[in-house]
Amino acid sequence: MAPREGPGQGSEYAWRQWTMRLKDTAEQHFLWNEGDTIVVAVSGGPDSMLLLYALHELIEQGEAEGARRLVAAHVHHGFRGRESDEEALFVEREAQKLGIRFEMTRVDAPGLAERRGLNPQAAARELRYHFLQDVAKHYGASHIALAHHADDQAETVLMRMLRGTGSSGLAGMAWKREEGELAYIRPLLHMRKTDILEWCAMRNIPYITDSSNTKRDYTRNRLRLDILPLLENENPQLVGALCRMADTLRDEADWMEEEARRLFQCHVKTVSNDEGSPFVSYAGSGYLLDRGAFCNTHVALQRRLIKLILNYLTREAEQMDFDVIETLRNAAAREHPSTWRMDVSRDVVFVREYDRLLWLLQDVAASDDIRCVTSLTIHRTSSSGRLSLPLNNSTLHWMIGAATDRDAAGNMRNFIDGSDSIARPRVRGRAWEAQFDADTLCWPLHVRSRQPGDRMRVQGLNGSKKVQDMFVDAKIAPSLRSFIPIMTDNNGQIVWVPGVRRSDVALVQPSTQCIIHFVLEGGAHASTQ
């Protein structure tokens, strides 16, 4: 609310009343607590000078030990030469007059903008925030106070609207934004610019007018000087309406973010190499999400969830536009193609593999899919045994016995030394188990990873078939194929691809006397089907 009284006792009372309402606003939005050290970003304009004086009133004089709790921080951006020099000296003098600690830095925003190809204002903002963070760290401050007001909020919302932002962008600037151990607070976000100027006049708060604010080279200035006044002819309460819309959308965005985090906790898994995991080559390098869980989520939350995953993986996530997120969402949600890949950024790749959605770091995802693993050998035996397969952290068990040892279901009785505790995979059919006529196998057997050009004579099929095609038919994810063990006989014939098919080699016949029964336990198979 703007002051109405002139200089004198009435204006002093109005000022005290206003600062107390400002304190109520701070408490309502949990902006700071008693005892917090606050760095105030002071440009020298009316907004930041009013903020500095108001915080001085509330904190420096209103709390014990308050004199050491404020730090005025000013950035000389290097845009306007002597004018910027005078601003820096002005802010320093005002801080000294109030007894507030002062920090200032000179930066080369134009040079950074040219080197990095940035908008000059974006370069200035990046340098300014780095400085504010450094000052906060130096003084042990937990908060950085910014002087954005309602007109700034309306301009921000309108500018983002013109650029085609989503609901999060239309939420505008927050009263309080936490970033690590720091909180950025905006105590004046409810105030109009005209009210700020009136308070400065009533309290004789000095300020400097930035000449660049009248230049129409910048989008924000054109909106402030030309577009908003034109729109206010249609709706005189436009600024308030835009701020209310931002407040509403921000609350909804906060709820959506909480829901996205809940979904992340429930359904998104970190790719790791824990025992039994099939993702050895992707250890610690990304996130995995079941496509079914994703498709059962509302479209709005699908977008939020993708953005959240990307935020955890890359700093470039904030700059990704709607089209990138929507491309990933459509690739995950649509039926075809069932396998798909896209470079999301310089360091992240998205991979869809049937019902598996993966976001992986580029250096890992680019690794060779074919793994070279030394072949392991199984010699002819007359007893049960086991073989650990480092290829996919699985264990191959076997038992050999007479055909008469089979039960009605065809399993070997007393499998593995009288123990039936082996954890058989819960998948359809018997793909993870195989029986062979031990006498007609060409011993020894070998277990290796797949190789280019692998073919197998398939049971029930006239001729051979590429193992690669078998993987496709079985819908085994490409990233898992190198972890599926291949069993061959001593002639190099593939006799079994666990989880896929067995060959027509050494089939168990009525005349079979000796049977060897294999079961693959653990490892990649739990996630391939």
Q: What residue numbers does the annotated binding site for ATP cover?
A: 43-48
Nearest to 173 by CA among 164, 186, 162, 192: 186
User: Hey, which residues does 366 pair with through a beta bridge?
Assistant: none
User: Hey, which residues does 517 pair with through a beta bridge?
Assistant: 399, 435
Nearest to 432 by CA among 491, 378, 466, 392: 392
Nearest to 139 by CA among 188, 72, 93, 80: 72
Q: Cα separation of 339 and 355, whole Å?
A: 9
Close Cβ partners of 452 (under 8 Å, ≥ 6 residues apart):
370
Tokens read off for 367: 């690794």
Nearest to 172 by CA among 255, 247, 257, 232: 247
Close Cβ partners of 12 (under 8 Å, ≥ 6 residues apart):
none
Bond preceding residue 229 cis, omega within 30 of 0: no
The angle formed by the CA atoms of residues 147, 148 and 151, to the nearest 5 degrees, is: 135
Q: Write the DSSP string, 209-270.
A: --GGGG-TTSHHHHIIIIIHHHHHHH-TTHHHHHHHHHHHHHHHHHHHHHHHHHHHHHHEEE
Packed helices 46-55 and 193-202: angle between N→C axes, nearest 10 degrees: 60
Query: What percentage of the chain's residues is helix, strand, coil (to nearest 5)?
Result: 40, 20, 35
Annotated binding site: 43-48
Residues in the chain: 529
DSSP reduced 3-state for 150: helix
Q: Cα separation of 17 and 22, whole Å?
A: 9
Strands 286-290 and 339-343: unpaired
The angle formed by the CA atoms of residues 95, 96 and 99, to the nearest 5 degrees, is: 90
